[in-house]
Amino acid sequence: MFSLPLNCSPDHIRRGSCWGRPQDLKIAAPAWNSKCHPGAGAAMARQHARTLWYDRPRYVFMEFCVEDSTDVHVLIEDHRIVFSCKNADGVELYNEIEFYAKVNSKDSQDKRSSRSITCFVRKWKEKVAWPRLTKEDIKPVWLSVDFDNWRDWEGDEEMELAHVEHYAELLKKVSTKRPPPAMDDLDDDSDSADDATSN
């Protein structure tokens, strides 16, 4: 039986996607004295973006919660993801995550909206549950499980496909530099949806 990810507590539960309680969006940082530590101000300018994730049989979904982002760069490799951008205040955000397991980077994509950047990361080994997102058994303060979308997905492949289609529908009008995810599993469902629309 599949279970919730490790190291989770009620404090990590976030409701309403990226936009929960205002205090959830704050990022703790040490109180450096720039006069005593030259260059400390530049180092503090770059922070981590608040990140939500949840597991599905074929995909791992990640959402970087940055409103009105600019200079967005997403690099998805077989063992890690590197994300960077600037928020509406011009603050540089940077996240680098070593994945729990290998992924298919060639069949993984990202979509930007006005409120967040969503990544569809294709698992290398499908139908294998991820107890956590990170390779190391750690819990960064900026990383949380999206419990609104987390569920026991055993035997729930149709629900996953519907969920992916829902994301694609919400984000289809958003301009991107790359085409939508190459999800071969969706071919049959997409054809059915087109037939239903034409009728």
List, for residues 178-199, the tens digit of each pLDDT value: 555 555 544 444 454 455 445 5
Span 94-141, pLDDT tens digits: 999 999 999 999 999 999 999 999 999 999 999 999 999 999 998 899
> Where exactly are the structural domains of the chain?
51-173
What does the mean pLDDT of the chain come to? 74
What pTM was estimated for this model as a whole?
A: 0.62
Give the integer Cα–Cα distance in Å for 48 and 85: 10
How confident is the model over 139-180, as pLDDT tens digits? Answer: 899 999 998 888 766 555 555 555 566 565 655 555 444 555
Report which of 18, 10, 7, 27 is spatially closest to residue 149, judged by C-alpha positions: 18
The CATH number fitting domain 51-173, selected from 1.20.1560.10, 3.40.50.300, 2.60.40.790, 3.30.1280.10 = 2.60.40.790
